[in-house]
């Protein structure tokens, strides 16, 4: 829905940092009801990292407050002349001065707003110092959760929007509360069972040892897929030594966020919620085996408001530049470190210093604040180097924590993904990792598998429901297990009459509008590409040793994928298809 | 006002001569999902709205989260302070009853309550206080729904017993059986 709002409200072709790029909020259909994990909202703008659709989801109380205030969607146009905090107080809207919030971290900002406005039920989306300083991958935070990727925080910073706060005092009503309560209660209880155990007990970080075993754990800037110290940065290690408490988003009975604290060493006191994606990017990917440094890095990202995945991958890129002599010690000099830094793989303290330079846009931080694509292009142009070969992004968004060289269906999913290198939009790592496909080879099924897993994920992302609930409806996570249950929830909430096919169509339409948006912003088939490294530079060890995704394999799989979607050979959207999907206005603009 | 032992509900008060049961939240288990607020407000108003919930989650910082409802104090200050005698306490259960004909929403009871467990409904201008869902055969809905079993309807004595058992269970690891030296 947020992507649809973006489609309708953007000035096509505008620069992501221009006034023509709106900020679009769309609230969830189940937000404010007791439907488990339904307290989420979508946030969309044109991404300053990719130049394509920047769609993010975030959970928790902000969305509930927005719903109780009576808003299903909010679109913000243009920009402010001075730093502003927007306050939506039920149906009144105020533009407040935000000077008193400048420089404050994300959680701090939320608290300061609550204190100033005098109600602890006020919820805010905020940016931290990174957004204020225009880090290209700054993000937007609410309630300790992030609309994390694609650089929303930079757009907010450019618009001088420090926070959007909401107070909602009205009740939320549903069509058939008796049925909905029973459904919600049953799902909520079943979500305490085995199907969510890994999220509840160790959180997503428990996946780290598994990806390491499969040889797809990005290590030392995606050079290898096996990290020798994986045990020391695993979810299990985190649980034993650093976990303070598990917390939940609003209306979530699972509670996956593992709040973790550093108790000793130079980073003592750092605390934040640790997820697998943040963890890989800031531990194995940097060759860092001291998990305390990883927690510190993620704490900086979370508290000061930037994407911890892109930050980690960008620092990994810089480390490889250092190791290869492309960047020298003195390149990392700053007032605090006049001699520069030895940014070797494994040097957690130097990584922390660099993260702070990125946040503050100091010295080399200015370059690294642009993400790997722009940073490598800039450096290569200045110095005649080839650092693009180890810039691991697709469409400008740094890759998530599954090395796709030996997950070939996932590689296709990442290459074609509308958002870039994101594991949330393409769920194709799942069949690859479970062995439903042969992950080391390609065959004629991959187009269909990648397309289906993308549209499967898009159903959850559109409602939105957190995907961690997917096995708790009936014990089966596939369409036959989940869609009828979701249809029941939709019907009890709204009074509509959704069935399996209607639910399935949600995913197709969501993927289509995002694709249409990208086409209108100038997408061509060449943009569906993979990082150089994954195409040319195989692992030396582990189960995936020796494999890459060749250009031929990628071209073959892309063809299959476009076919499975019913698109043209060039990956464009046929008019008839768009009309069939009920999008005649989109057909008019981009259909062929 | 001290009550005779015979006046207590045997089931809840089996071991306590002096304290009422109330909704207790274990802050170690509470994850802050707020489902208690959803179901409480729904059971009282038919809508989901934290502002109308009689139990409230409190998040002081990133990890300090718990929920609070009426503690059914003895000699309840809210009852004593009410200038219109609109509040009365049930001697059996300790529950506070709000007489709608007398309450005018002056909010003195809110000031008197150390736990912040009372709110005024702006639509009815009446004080609202947790009543343990006494008219619902299923008992307190928040307890029924709490996915982490952080909430319970418990007397302070029972709470203390639970703490003692948990402490001992955590502190000592008794061998299951003696090993045979052979």
Position A315 in a domain:
yes
Please indicate, yes or no, whether residues A318 and A277 belong to a single structural domain of this protein.
yes
In a domain, A35, yes or no: yes
Is B148 in contact with A34 (Cβ distance < 8 A)? no
Chain A CB contacts of B138 below 8 Å: none
Nearest CA distance, A191 vs chain B (angstrom): 8
* Average pLDDT rounded to a whole number, residues B109-124: 94
Residue range B100-123: average pLDDT? Answer: 95
Q: What CATH number corresponds to the domain at position A278?
A: 1.10.569.10
Q: Quick one: A338 and A439 in the same domain?
A: no
What does the pLDDT look like over A38-96, one tens digit per residue?
Answer: 999 999 999 999 999 999 999 889 999 999 999 999 999 999 999 999 999 999 999 99
* pLDDT of res. B2: 41
Residues A558 and A439 in one domain: yes
Residues A387 and A409 placed together within one structural domain of the fold? no
Q: What is the dihedral of CA A260, A264, A266, A269, to 10 degrees?
A: 40
CB contact under 8 A, A107 and B49: no
Both A362 and A327 in a single domain?
yes
B31–A173 C-beta distance less than 8 A:
no
Q: What is the pLDDT of residues A135-155, one digit of tens each?
A: 999 999 999 899 989 999 999
For chain A, say whether B151 makes contact (Cβ under 8 Å). Answer: no
Distance CA A540, CA A542 (A): 7
Task: Return the residue in A142, A181, A271 with the most chain B beta carbons within 10 A, the one to mutate for interface testing.
Answer: A181
What range does the domain containing A19 cover? Answer: 2-167
Boundary of a domain, candidates A345, A360, A391: A391
Does residue A538 belong to any structural domain of this protein?
yes
Indicate whether A242 and A308 sit together in one domain: yes
Test mutation, A108, A173, A186, A261, chain B, max B CBs within 10 A: A173
- What percent of chain B is predicted at pLDDT more than 70? 85
pLDDT digits (tens, 9 = 90+) for A437-456: 999 999 999 999 999 999 99
Q: Name every chain A residue with its beta carbon within 8 A of the beta carbon of B25.
A: none
Q: What is the DSSP string of A122-166?
A: -EEEE--HHHHTT-TTB-EEETTEEE-STTHHHHHHHTTEEEEEE
pLDDT band at B16 (very low <50, low <70, confident <90, very high): very low
The minimum CA-CA distance between B60 and chain A, rounded to whole Å, is 10
Min distance A66 CA to chain B CA atoms (Å)? 12
Using CA coordinates, name the residue in chain A closest to B148. A253
Measured between CB atoms, does B49 come within 8 Å of chain A? yes
**What are the structural domains, with CATH classification, of chain B?**
20-69+131-169 (3.30.70.20), 73-129 (3.30.70.20)
- Looking at residue B9, its pLDDT comes to 46
Confirm whether the ipTM is greater than 0.95: no
Q: What is the pLDDT of residues A361-407, one digit of tens each?
A: 999 999 999 999 999 999 999 999 999 999 999 999 999 999 999 99
Q: How many domains does chain A have?
A: 3
Co-location of A232 and A363 in the same domain: yes
Among the partner-chain residues A68, A174, A254, the one whose CB lies closest to the CB of B49 is A68
The reply to whether A177 falls in a domain is no
- How many Cβ atoms sit within 10 Å of the Cβ of residue A308? 28
Which of B28, B38, B65 has the CB atom closest to A251's CB atom? B38
**B31/A246 touch (CB, cutoff 8 Å), yes or no:** yes
pLDDT tens sequence across A523-544: 999 999 999 999 999 999 999 9
Q: Tell me which of A391, A422, A454 is where a domain ends.
A: A391
What is the domain-level CATH number for residue A529? 1.10.599.10
Please report whether residue A398 resides in a domain. Answer: no
B4 pLDDT above the threshold of 50: no
CB under 8 A, 24+ apart: contacts of B46-49: B46/A171, B46/A173, B46/A177, B47/A170, B47/A171, B47/A172, B47/A173, B48/A32, B48/A33, B48/A34, B48/A171, B48/A172, B48/A173, B48/A174, B49/A68, B49/A169, B49/A170, B49/A171, B49/A172
For residue B162, is pLDDT > 90?
A: no
Evaluate whether residue A32 is within a structural domain: yes
Question: Which residues of B fall within a CB distance of 8 Å from A244?
Answer: 63
State pLDDT tens for residues A468-526: 999 999 989 999 999 999 999 999 999 999 999 999 999 999 999 999 999 999 999 99
- Chain B contact set for A34 (CB, 8 A): 35, 38-39, 42, 48, 145
CB-based contact B31 A192, cutoff 8 Å: no
Nearest C-alpha of chain A: how many angstroms from B56?
A: 10
Predicted pLDDT at A336: 95
A385/A453 same-domain check = no
Least confident of A60-69, A167-176, A188-197: A188-197
The residue among A335, A359, A391 that closes a domain is A391
Between A340 and B61, the higher pLDDT residue: A340
Q: How many CB pairs under 8 A join A and B?
A: 85
CA terminus-to-terminus distance, chain A: 24
**A353, A415: one domain:** no
Confidence of residue B7 (pLDDT cuts 50, 70, 90): very low
Largest CA distance in chain A: 67
Would you call A173 and B47 a contact, using CB atoms and an 8 Å cutoff?
A: yes
Q: Is the pLDDT of residue B13 over 60?
A: no
């Amino acid at each position: 829905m947020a992507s649809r709002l973006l489609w309708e409200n953007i000035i096509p072709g505008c620069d992501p940092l221009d006034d023509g790029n709106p900020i679009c909020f769309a609230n969830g259909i189940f937000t404010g009801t007791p439907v488990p994990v339904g307290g989420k909202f979508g946030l969309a703008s044109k991404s300053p990292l990719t130049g394509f659709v920047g769609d993010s989801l975030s959970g928790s109380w902000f969305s509930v407050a927005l719903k109780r205030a009576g808003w299903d969607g909010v679109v913000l146009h243009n920009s402010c002349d001075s730093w502003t905090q927007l306050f939506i107080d039920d149906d009144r809207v105020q533009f407040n001065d935000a000077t008193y919030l400048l420089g404050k971290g994300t959680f701090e900002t939320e608290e300061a707003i609550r204190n100033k406005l005098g109600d602890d039920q006020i919820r805010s989306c905020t940016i931290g110092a990174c957004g204020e300083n225009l880090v290209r991958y700054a993000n937007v935070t609410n309630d300790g959760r992030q609309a994390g990727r694609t650089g929303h925080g930079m757009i907010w910073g450019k618009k001088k929007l420090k926070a959007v706060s909401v107070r909602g005092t009205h009740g939320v009503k549903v069509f058939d509360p008796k049925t909905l309560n029973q459904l919600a209660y049953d799902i909520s209880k079943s979500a305490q069972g085995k199907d969510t155990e890994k999220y509840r007990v160790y959180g997503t970080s428990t996946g780290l040892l598994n990806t390491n075993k499969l040889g797809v754990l990005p290590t030392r800037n995606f050079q290898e897929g096996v990290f020798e110290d994986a045990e020391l940065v695993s979810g299990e290690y985190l649980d034993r030594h650093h976990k303070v408490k598990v917390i939940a988003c609003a209306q979530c009975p699972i509670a996956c966020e593992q709040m973790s604290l550093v108790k000793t060493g130079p980073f003592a006191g750092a605390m934040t919620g640790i997820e697998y994606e943040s963890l890989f990017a800031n531990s194995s990917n940097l060759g860092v085996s001291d998990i305390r440094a990883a927690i510190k890095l993620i704490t900086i990202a979370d508290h000061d408001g930037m994407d911890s995945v892109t930050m980690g991958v960008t620092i990994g890129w810089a480390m490889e530049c250092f190791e290869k002599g492309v960047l020298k010690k003195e390149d990392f000099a700053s007032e605090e470190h006049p001699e520069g830094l030895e940014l070797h793989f494994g040097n957690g303290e130097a990584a922390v210093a660099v993260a702070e330079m990125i946040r503050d846009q100091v010295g080399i931080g200015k370059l690294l604040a642009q993400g790997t694509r722009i940073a490598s292009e800039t450096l290569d142009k200045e110095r005649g180097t080839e650092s693009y070969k180890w810039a691991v992004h697709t469409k400008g968004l740094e890759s998530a924590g599954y090395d796709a060289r030996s997950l070939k269906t996932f590689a296709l999913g990442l290459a074609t993904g509308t958002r870039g290198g994101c594991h949330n939009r393409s769920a194709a790592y799942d069949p690859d990792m479970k062995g439903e496909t042969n992950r080391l080879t390609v065959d004629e099924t991959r187009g269909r598998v990648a397309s289906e897993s993308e549209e499967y994920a898009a159903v959850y992302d559109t409602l939105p429901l957190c995907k961690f609930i997917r096995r708790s409806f009936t014990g089966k996570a596939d369409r036959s297990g989940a869609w009828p249950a979701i249809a029941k929830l939709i019907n009890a909430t709204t009074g509509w009459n959704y069935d399996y096919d209607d639910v399935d169509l949600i995913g197709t339409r969501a993927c289509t509008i995002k694709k249409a948006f990208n086409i209108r912003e100038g997408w061509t088939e060449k943009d569906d590409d993979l990082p150089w490294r994954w195409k040319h530079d195989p692992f030396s060890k582990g189960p995936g040793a020796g494999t890459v995704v060749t250009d031929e394999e990628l071209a073959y799989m892309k063809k299959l994928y476009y076919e499975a979607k019913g698109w043209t050979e060039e990956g464009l959207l046929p008019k008839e298809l768009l009309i069939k999907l009920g999008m005649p206005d989109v057909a008019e603009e981009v259909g062929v | 006002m001290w009550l005779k032992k015979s006046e207590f509900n045997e089931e809840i008060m089996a071991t306590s001569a002096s304290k009422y049961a109330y909704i207790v939240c274990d802050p170690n288990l509470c994850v802050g999902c707020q489902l208690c607020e959803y179901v409480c407000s729904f059971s009282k108003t038919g809508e989901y709205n934290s502002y109308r919930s009689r139990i409230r989650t409190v998040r002081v910082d990133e990890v300090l989260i718990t929920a609070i409802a009426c503690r059914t104090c003895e000699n309840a200050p809210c009852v004593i302070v009410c200038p219109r005698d609109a509040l009365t306490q049930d001697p059996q259960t300790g529950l506070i009853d709000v007489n709608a004909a007398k309450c005018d929403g002056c909010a003195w009871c809110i000031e008197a309550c150390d736990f912040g467990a009372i709110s005024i409904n702006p639509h009815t201008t009446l004080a609202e206080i947790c009543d343990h869902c006494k008219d619902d055969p299923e008992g307190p809905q928040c307890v029924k729904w709490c996915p982490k079993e952080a909430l319970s309807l418990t007397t302070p004595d029972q709470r203390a017993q639970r703490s003692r058992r948990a402490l001992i269970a955590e502190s000592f690891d008794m061998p299951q059986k003696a090993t045979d030296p052979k």
